[in-house]
Amino acid sequence: MTSEPGVSDDWLVDRLAPRPVVEGDLIHRGKVWDLRGEVVDLGESQVLREFVDHPGAVAVIALDEQDRVLLLQQYRHPVRHDLWEPPAGLLDVEGEELVLAAARELAEEADLRAASWWRLVEVFTTPGGSNERIVVFLARDLSAVPDHELFERTDEEALMVPVWVPLDDAVDAVLAGRLHSPTTVTGVLAAAAARARGWSTLERVALG
């Protein structure tokens, strides 16, 4: 389906369209997310769907003055891989604004602050099996977090390896299938596409 000349392209948008939930059960309550089962009325039929109930997350594509992107190597046990990812984290602070959560994660995982922020892209990571939604921000005008404010990282985060990669090299790695994290793939490609448009398509956001 394509729009005819003179017809708006606004139809090409994912729209919120919830179906009635007939019944629902909490199958498992986890430390970070839960597993739920819901019977959904589709009109012609009712179906049982099980899914991960996720709090959501944010990620940060941090670019320096040389258009290098910061990636962190982190072990992800479900896929048994060391993945190269941007700084990211859960929306686990009640009432916290998205951009403030992103700034917090940038400071905690990369010891960095950013003076300039844009909303870059957002994605449902696994819409057939989870309601996880990740909002990816672009951060620029970077500076180091003062030593007395450094965050003490633990568990997998304590072993993260940071690297600065030219954005074009990161794009090549994504297109060659060498990088697999959804925040890396979507964030890197979105940043490259936005740069090609002179950054004019991005929505700037303010901290606080």
- What pLDDT, on a 0 to 100 scale, did the predictor assign at position 149? 79
> CA-CA distance, 86 to 165, in Å (whole number)?
11
SS3 183: helix
What is the CATH code of the structural domain delimited by 57-205?
3.90.79.10
Contacts of 36 by beta carbon, 8 Å cutoff, 6+ apart: 24, 25, 26, 27, 50, 51, 52, 53
Catalytic residue, chosen from 97, 108, 122, 157, is 157
The reported pTM is 0.90
Which residues have a Cβ under 8 Å from the Cβ of 42 and sit 6 or more positions away?
Answer: 19
* Predicted local distance difference test score (pLDDT) of residue 160: 87
Q: Is 97 an annotated catalytic residue?
A: no
- Domain limits, CATH 3.90.79.10, in the chain: 57-205
CA distances to 45, 152, 162, 181 from 130, rounded to whole Å, are: 21, 30, 29, 16
The C-alpha atoms of residue 132 and residue 126 are separated, in whole angstroms, by 7
* 106 membership: H or E segment, kind and range: helix 98-110
pLDDT at 148: 81
Tell the residue number behind the tokens 């369209």, with chain if given. 17
Per-residue pLDDT of the chain (208 residues; tens, 9 = 90+): 455 555 566 889 999 999 999 999 999 999 989 999 999 999 999 999 999 999 999 999 999 999 999 999 999 999 999 999 999 999 989 899 999 999 999 999 999 999 999 999 999 999 999 999 999 999 999 999 987 877 787 777 777 889 999 999 999 999 999 999 999 999 999 999 999 999 999 999 998 7
